[in-house]
Structure 1
Amino acid sequence: MTDLETRVAPRGLGAAASALLGYAAVRALGLLVLAVWSAARDKSAYTLLTARWDSLWYTRVAELGYGYEVRLPNGDVHSNLAFFPLLPWLERLLHTTTPLSYAGAGFVVSLLASLAAAWGIFAVAAHVYGRRAGLYAVLLWAVIPVGIVQSMAYSESLFTALAAWSLYAVLTGRWLTAGTLALLAGLTRPVGLAVVAAVWAAGIAALLRERAGTAPSAHHRSTAPIGGAHPDEHAPSPARHLPPDGAPAWRCALGMLLAPLGAAGYVLWVGHRTGSGPLGYLDVQAGWRNGFDGGYAFARFIAEKFTSFPSALAGLALIAGVALLVRLHVVCVRQRQPLPLLVYAGVVTALALCASSYFGSKPRLLLPAFPLLLPLALALARLRTRAAALVVGGVAVASAVYGAFWLNGSGPP
């Protein structure tokens, strides 16, 4: 075993301190630009963050419970049963125990969850590729164009935090923790299925290795502690791509059993409440014109952009964006990302692109797919610090301006 493999990095919050400070700085910049932009338009930045679109639906669930719906003139029924319960539960808990309003509670939950998500992303990336790559993975997640959503009273930050730490638990062989966090992720968003799939894929692989007697040897086990790995390693290494052996098989199996209970429990409850059977949740989503059509509606939406020259540019940009996502997936595979990360990012991307929902929301739906950022984080980690800082700083400014413009627009993010 080499010197590099035996080095142990600082564990816990201390290892992630730089990443979290950088993340907080980027988000603070985004909020500052939003406040200035909104004030210039006689709007309240706080209202934009806490009391528009989905955030209103979450606070209604927190305050009034389920059962609220809106019937549109075209016959569509928008029911608040479409919104999973964990965020409203937390909003209600914080409202009950503090002077915060429901909207304020949602904002605080989102802010705290975004920090937990950043920490979880650092833990995953540092565990696989080293602490320097972990730092840039967090910064890249902060500066993506729709990063302002991380500070809204939406469920994306909460979901990403649960997903990231569940994936980290899988990578380090903590199966009960992984299953419990996957359960909670399944109570947060429908895309919780991606976390369940990742836990199951890793669990099945681990059980098959154990049955075949081919569990990774001590030389191939992960030696990285919580919150970090080997700070000078930038290249992928199979040494950390399998959960460490030694955990009893029953823990792995129990973690796998726990993982789907959150999503399955809520979906079955909705079906029972609506009297529509086990898949009644799909009927609720249909009322919002949401569904899974394999990407047909999205492809048709892109094709319609080419009916005129100005909109054709938007169509080309959408095609380029999808091509970039595919390219990043290919690179992730070539760099031998751990199986649970590949499965998780693949399912998140597939659900986002192949859903027939509001197309303007697709960038937001892709927000939790942070493993796709790891190839870019590795590239930044290989640059000199000054050059990487200039790149991240420039993108952070552009992201802050775009987020303020986007949130002050008419359509929901």
Structure 2
Amino acid sequence: MTNQLIDHVFTPARAKSGQRLLQLSRTDKVALQVYLIFQAGLWITVYATAWLFADGGKPATTPIVSRWAQWDAKSFVTIAKEGYFPNGAAARDAREAFLPGLPFLLRCVHAVIPEWTVDGLLVSLLAGGAAALALSRVAQITAPGREVGVRSVSFLLASPGAVFLAAGYSESLFLSLALPAWLAAKKGNWRLAAALACAAGTVRVSGLFLATAMLVQFAASGDVRGRARRLPWLTLPFLPMLAYTWYLRTHTGDWMSWEHAQERGWFRGFHAPWQTWCNTWKAAFSSESAPYAFMFQLELAAVITGILLLVVLMRQRLWPEVTYVGLSLSALGASYWYMSVPRAALLWWPLWISLAAWSVRRPWVRSAYVAIAVPLTTLVTVTFTSGRWAG
């Protein structure tokens, strides 16, 4: 399985049989260089934030690393340290809403590096590099061309929610598994695709959207009857969520424990889509929610972007991608208000590939994107690492 993973996912398609399996193409190297530059830029921003928001105008004495320990990063660490049910009872912090993939990995890394925040940053750093490499490969298959691959990575890393790719959150880890799974599916290696998607399903509920999209990809690839024996493999990515639901049921007696944790912690109970829009609009432009208005404005912008992306994908008849993005939007658009949509947009790789391909045809697109996205990315990074973010 390891050799298959390297051969089908991390080896360039044009590689000759005599080449080493881990050899990187020129495009791969550029994509990784862009990723490292992105990481450096984020750390510079965090360093400046520590001075900008220093107490009493004096330089901040708190270690810069601790500024990454915010919100969900703390939740993942808490689960890694205590589990979901400390002392055999359910906690009151809605921790059941977080799937166990990242906490389990943090626990493993902590055995080697005994600093929880550093553990989360290290996992995201390595996972983000793998995701950047895989995104470049997927882009080159979807819209052939070396330039499209690197640009897709650049568009992702410059997006407003990009700080969450570096923090101890689950986005980077999910992408590092989901993108290679998608690449394997595009190459027809369904066993490998199913195994990787199964791993992604332990990290985020978006694994269910990925699994469903892979079924559509399987059906759209033709000769389904000739490959019917491989179809059972595609049920594998659905198992992690089923197993986790059963685990929560055995401890809480509630089959809907995950959903109820979402509602308890973030008001993500089911609401009509138009009601969700109205509630978010009010939060975005009401004087009562002024401290968090900008966050909700970003949520609205991300939803509009997702809808436009769906239209583009439908016009291109990319039905597997339509399925993946559509399910994500549907899940996010049926709660009390939009929450964490800019973060979820990081997982919409068709968006970054579409923008990259568009920018190759229309050079002004890249300039416009950089002019708009980079200031927002900086602002979100400052807001998050200064403890002023609420999403």
Q: Cα RMSD between the aligned structures?
A: 3.1
Structure-1 residue corresponding to 2:31:
19
Does 2:340 correspond to 1:328? no
Instruction: Kindly state the Cα deviation for residue 355 of structure 1 after the two structures are TM-superposed.
Output: 3.1
**Does 155-164 or 140-149 show the bigger shift?**
155-164
Does 2:196 correspond to 1:181? yes
CA displacement, residues 81-101 of structure 1 (integer Å, 9 cap, x when unaligned): 2211111111111111x2331
Structure-2 residue corresponding to 1:111:
125
Structure-1 residue corresponding to 2:342:
363
Structure-2 residue corresponding to 1:150:
165
- What pairs up with 1:23-38 in 2 under 5 angstroms? 23-38=35-50
Q: Which runs of 5+ in 2 are unaligned?
A: 1-11, 17-22, 55-59
Distance in 1, matches of 2:122 and 2:196, equals 20
CA displacement, residues 289-326 of structure 1 (integer Å, 9 cap, x when unaligned): 32343435521323425556997x96887655533322
Could you tell me whether the CA contact under 8 Å between 1:114 and 1:150 is conserved in 2?
Answer: yes
Structure-1 residue corresponding to 2:66:
47
**Does 143-152 or 398-407 show the bigger shift?**
398-407
Say which of 147, 170, 173 aligns to 2:185: 170
Instruction: Kindly state the Cα deviation for residue 80 of structure 1 after the two structures are TM-superposed.
Output: 1.8
Instruction: Kindly state the Cα deviation for residue 361 of structure 1 after the two structures are TM-superposed.
Output: 2.4
Distance in 1, matches of 2:286 and 2:370, equals 37
CA change 1:356–1:178 in 2 (3 A) is farther
Structure-1 residue corresponding to 2:20:
none
Distance in 2, matches of 1:376 and 1:162, equals 22
Does 2:296 correspond to 1:282? no
Distance in 2, matches of 1:99 and 1:320, equals 39
Say which of 348, 351, 361 aligns to 1:382: 361
TM-score scaled by length of structure 1 = 0.77
The one-letter amino acid of 1:345's match is V
Distance in 1, matches of 2:288 and 2:99, equals 40
Structure-2 residue corresponding to 1:298:
276
User: What SS does the corresponding residue of 2:93 show, helix, strand or coil?
Assistant: strand
Does 2:116 correspond to 1:102? yes
**Does 11-20 or 157-166 show the bigger shift?**
11-20
Between the aligned residues of both structures, percent identity stands at: 26
Q: How many aligned residue pairs are there?
A: 357
CA change 1:329–1:177 in 2 (3 A) is same
CA change 1:317–1:190 in 2 (3 A) is closer
Structure-1 residue corresponding to 2:9:
none
Does 2:283 correspond to 1:268? no
CA displacement, residues 112-158 of structure 1 (integer Å, 9 cap, x when unaligned): 11111111211111111123211111110000011111100010111
- What pairs up with 1:129-278 in 2 under 5 angstroms? 129-130=143-144, 131-206=146-221, 209-211=223-225, 248-251=227-230, 253-276=231-254, 278=255
CA displacement, residues 210-244 of structure 1 (integer Å, 9 cap, x when unaligned): 33xxxxxxxxxxxxxxxxxxxxxxxxxxxxxxxxx
TM-score scaled by length of structure 2 = 0.81
Structure-2 residue corresponding to 1:80:
95
Could you tell me whether the CA contact under 8 Å between 2:73 and 2:169 is conserved in 1?
Answer: yes
Could you tell me whether the CA contact under 8 Å between 2:127 and 2:172 is conserved in 1?
Answer: yes
Does 2:375 correspond to 1:398? yes
Distance in 2, matches of 1:287 and 1:68, equals 19
Instruction: Kindly state the Cα deviation for residue 62 of structure 1 after the two structures are TM-superposed.
Output: 1.1
Q: Which runs of 5+ in 1 are unaligned?
A: 1-6, 212-245
Instruction: Kindly state the Cα deviation for residue 287 of structure 1 after the two structures are TM-superposed.
Output: 2.4
